[in-house]
């Protein structure tokens, strides 16, 4: 099978949430579920709230809902949503 690139927006519960802790746990969850080449970025949203954007590659035969579900279970995370899914070429 091919490789897919997945981008997930992880929203914290409040502007005072420790984003470094969320990034650390998110990276661990992604790697445990066969995600590779993880890149984590912080993206300002509004009113002091900042989201964590996780971008990584997976085998396209793997289910993506596992990532959303497990990332939502991180302490102080309000939501986790796939915002981009595309097939990698090359």
Pairwise CA distance, residues 8 & 53, whole Å: 6
Q: For the segment 58-75, what is each residue's pLDDT rounded down to a tens digit? A: 998 889 999 999 999 999
- Helix 19-32 to helix 65-72 angle (10° resolution) is 140
Contacts with 71 (C-beta within 8 Å, 6 or more apart), sequence order: 8, 10, 26, 29, 54, 77, 80
Q: Is residue 90 predicted with pLDDT exceeding 90?
A: no
Domain over 3-37+44-55+64-81 is classified CATH 3.40.50.10470: no
Where exactly are the structural domains of the chain? 3-37+44-55+64-81
Q: What is the pLDDT of residues 18-68, one digit of tens each?
A: 999 999 999 999 999 999 999 999 999 998 999 999 999 999 888 999 999
d(CA 16, CA 38): 24
Overall pTM > 0.85: yes
């Amino acid at each position: 099978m091919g490789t897919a690139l997945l981008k997930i927006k992880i929203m914290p519960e409040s502007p005072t949430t420790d984003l470094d802790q969320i990034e650390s746990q998110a990276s661990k969850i992604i790697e445990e579920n066969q995600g590779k080449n993880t890149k984590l970025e912080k993206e300002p949203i509004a009113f002091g709230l900042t989201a964590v954007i996780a971008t990584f590659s997976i085998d396209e035969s793997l289910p993506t809902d596992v990532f959303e579900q497990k990332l939502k279970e991180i302490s102080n995370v309000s939501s986790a949503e796939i915002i981009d899914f595309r097939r990698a070429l090359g």
